[in-house]
Structure 1
Amino acid sequence: MAEYVVRASHGKATSLSLSSKKLKEVPQCVLSLTNLSVLLLNNNRITALPSQLTSLLHLAELNLGNNALKEIPAVLRHLESLKKLYLFSNQITAVSPEVMAALRNLVVLNLNHNQIQRLPPEMKSLRKLRHLSVLDNNLEEVPAELGHLTKLSEMNLTSNKLSRLPEQLYQCRELTKLHVARNQLTSLPEGIVALEKLQVLDVAGNKLSMFPVEFHLLPLKELHFEGNRFVHCEPVPSVQDAEVLALKELVARFVLWENRNRFSLIHRRLPNYPLLTALLANGSCCAVCLRPFLTTWLECVHFVSLRKDMKMRSSLTIPVRALLCSYKCFNTEGHSYYGVAIR
């Protein structure tokens, strides 16, 4: 092993591989190679990193995969030049907020095959991150702050314990691949339709009953959705109660409609009432009459052909959520929306 380091030292190498050398610690002689930009220490038995690792100021790629680390070493927060960090197949249970807050130049972060239960809000500091992979961990939730990662291109959260994804995910407009298979998701964020570059989505093996509103408008090339609990088109009796809208709902619908007219007094004055604006931001649009409403009156579903409507190769159909503002719209002829029965 020493000969690798000597050779690298004499040649002023910028890359050093000590993979699969049965190392239990980082050799001291490595710390003198201050020109290193790539250091591969994967497939060893390393349990900790020396504090002197800070001497590698130019280190841009560090591979510590398949070792025996039980935590993300604190010393990593001083390696501000790091762009690629691989920590897969260790025994890590927690992600250090301090380290995440410091690695602002990180482009690739691989935490696959660990025992991580949560990601800290400090993940928002990774503004340059493009690839995030936390495959096969114990994640029960991901923070809303992931929405700050606006350059994220690929995210893999497969094989965790997630029951939901944050609504803020729609802010990651550069996402092209999203893998969330084998979790416990019962729904996807409604704002996912804003991911206009999304090409690959894997939601197989979850508990989804339908896809969100306007899901079929996404430019997907691959969709994996087997092993969910999707609704089926089965006729059942329908009981329709009389429609009695609360005063709050009536006013909200009027304000939402008037706000569409940029010349109206309401549209001009609404920014002066931030609490009201925030409340109305949760409004929806009727799939039939296209008029706005605040509270969901009737949840429906329509069945979308992947081949015809989404230009994909599959001949399958998927259920996509739709919202209607009233039974009047629901009973209008000429639409293909079905009410969702609650049993």
Structure 2
Amino acid sequence: MTESVVRALYGKAKSLNLSSKKINVVPECVSRLPNLSVLLLKNNSISALPNELLYLHHLVELNLGNNALKELPAVLGHLESLKKLYLFSNQITAVPPDVIDGLQNLVVLNLNHNHIRRLPPEIKSLTRLRHLSVLDNKLEEVPAELGHLTSLTEINFTSNHLPSLPVQLYQCKELTKLHVARNKLTSLPEGIKALTKLQVLDVAGNKLSMFPVEFDSLPLKELYHEDNRFVRCEPMSSVQDVEVLMLKELAARFVLQQDRDMSSLVHRMLPYYPPLPELLANGSCCALCLNPFLTTWLECVHFVSVNKETKIRSSKTIPVRAFLCSYKCFNTEGHSYYGVARK
């Protein structure tokens, strides 16, 4: 190991590999390699990093995988040039906000196989991040601030304890791969159609009953959804033919309908009542008649055949949620929507 460092010192090395050297401390002389851009320290017993590493101003890649770190060393927050950080297979329990704040050039962050329960809201500062992997941890929630990371192309939250995902995740419109298998998800947020570049989705081993509205519009090439609790198709007739709408709902439907007409008085006046557009933004559209409504009047499901070019492990037919505005629409003949019976 010493020979490797000595050669690096004399050769003004840009890369140093001290992986699998059975070391428990980083040699102090490593900090005397000002040109170092890649430092590989995986498969050792390192439990801390020397503060002197902050002098590695040109360090771009740091691999500390499979060591004995129990926390993210504070010195990492000073490595402002770092683009790739691998911390898999340690004993890390938390991600300090102050460390995250100093890593604004990160492109790859790998925290797999640790004991992390939460990611801090400050993760929003990693605006250049493209690959985020926190596989096999103890995550209990995903911060809404993740939606600020609009450069993300791949997220892996497989094997955690997540009961839900934030809708802000759909702001990451460059996302091509989303892995959330083996969590505790009971649903995916509505609006997933915004992920127009999503090619791989793994939701296997959760508690999903159906997929969100317009899920079938995604350009998926791979879909893994086995071992969930998807609804089954067991047709039954509707027993309610007349619905009574609240005044708020009736008014909202009228305003939403009028707002579609750019020349209408309602459309022109809405900007003068700021709370209204915000409220009406929660509206939806009937899958049959296409008329707008504010609240989910009738949750339905239709069974969609997955694109034959999509790689899939189980059934090629999946349940996709749909919203109908009324029982009048639901009772119309000739459609393929089914009501959802809850136990």
TM-score, structure 2 normalization = 0.97
In structure 1, what is the Cα distance between the partners aligned to 2:60 and 2:99? 15
Write the letter of the residue equivalent to 1:300. C
Match of 1:127 in 2: 127
Write the letter of the residue equivalent to 2:155. M
In structure 2, what is the Cα distance between the partners aligned to 1:272 and 1:129? 39
In structure 2, what is the Cα distance between the partners aligned to 1:95 and 1:272? 44
Deviations 1:219-269 (A, max 9, x none): 000000000000000134532163110110000001111111122222222
Write the letter of the residue equivalent to 2:227. G
2:299 match: secondary structure: strand
Match of 2:38 in 1: 38
Match of 1:198 in 2: 198
Match of 1:269 in 2: 269
* 1:335 equivalenced with 2:335 (yes/no): yes
In structure 2, what is the Cα distance between the partners aligned to 1:187 and 1:53? 44
The 5-angstrom pairing of residues 307-318 of structure 1 reads 307=307, 311-312=309-310, 316-318=316-318
Deviation at 1:76, TM superposition (A): 0.7
Where structure 2 has 5 or more consecutive residues not aligned to the other structure, the ranges are: none
Deviations 1:299-343 (A, max 9, x none): 0000000136xx535561000000000000001112110000122
Write the letter of the residue equivalent to 1:224. Y
Bigger drift between 23-32 and 318-327 goes to: 23-32
Deviation at 1:271, TM superposition (A): 2.3
In structure 2, what is the Cα distance between the partners aligned to 1:257 and 1:37? 59
Write the letter of the residue equivalent to 1:202. D
The 5-angstrom pairing of residues 315-330 of structure 1 reads 316-330=316-330
Taking structure 1 as reference, are residues 313 and 161 closer, same or farther at Cα in structure 2, changes over 3 Å only?
closer
Match of 1:282 in 2: 282
2:301 match: secondary structure: strand
In structure 2, what is the Cα distance between the partners aligned to 1:255 and 1:101? 44
1:319 match: secondary structure: strand
Where structure 1 has 5 or more consecutive residues not aligned to the other structure, the ranges are: none
In structure 2, what is the Cα distance between the partners aligned to 1:230 and 1:81? 46
CA contact (8 A) 1:169 1:189 kept: no
Over 6 Å off, 4+ runs: none
In structure 2, what is the Cα distance between the partners aligned to 1:68 and 1:185? 31
In structure 1, what is the Cα distance between the partners aligned to 2:236 and 2:267? 43
Match of 1:187 in 2: 187
Match of 1:116 in 2: 116
The 5-angstrom pairing of residues 1-343 of structure 1 reads 1-236=1-236, 238-240=238-240, 242-307=242-307, 311-312=309-310, 316-343=316-343
1:307 match: secondary structure: coil
1:190 match: secondary structure: coil
2:307 match: secondary structure: helix
Deviation at 1:14, TM superposition (A): 0.3
CA contact (8 A) 1:236 1:341 kept: no
Bigger drift between 263-272 and 232-241 goes to: 232-241
2:58 match: secondary structure: coil
CA contact (8 A) 2:324 2:330 kept: yes
Write the letter of the residue equivalent to 1:112. N
Write the letter of the residue equivalent to 2:304. V
In structure 2, what is the Cα distance between the partners aligned to 1:335 and 1:229? 24
In structure 2, what is the Cα distance between the partners aligned to 1:286 and 1:237? 20
Write the letter of the residue equivalent to 1:312. T
In structure 1, what is the Cα distance between the partners aligned to 2:190 and 2:200? 17
In structure 2, what is the Cα distance between the partners aligned to 1:327 and 1:83? 55
CA contact (8 A) 1:77 1:99 kept: yes
| Superposition CA RMSD, Å | 1.1
Deviations 1:182-236 (A, max 9, x none): 0000001111110000000000000000000000000000000000000000134
CA contact (8 A) 2:235 2:338 kept: no
1:31 match: secondary structure: helix
Write the letter of the residue equivalent to 1:203. V
In structure 2, what is the Cα distance between the partners aligned to 1:307 and 1:64? 41
In structure 1, what is the Cα distance between the partners aligned to 2:217 and 2:88? 35
Deviation at 1:270, TM superposition (A): 1.4
1:5 match: secondary structure: helix
CA contact (8 A) 1:22 1:45 kept: yes
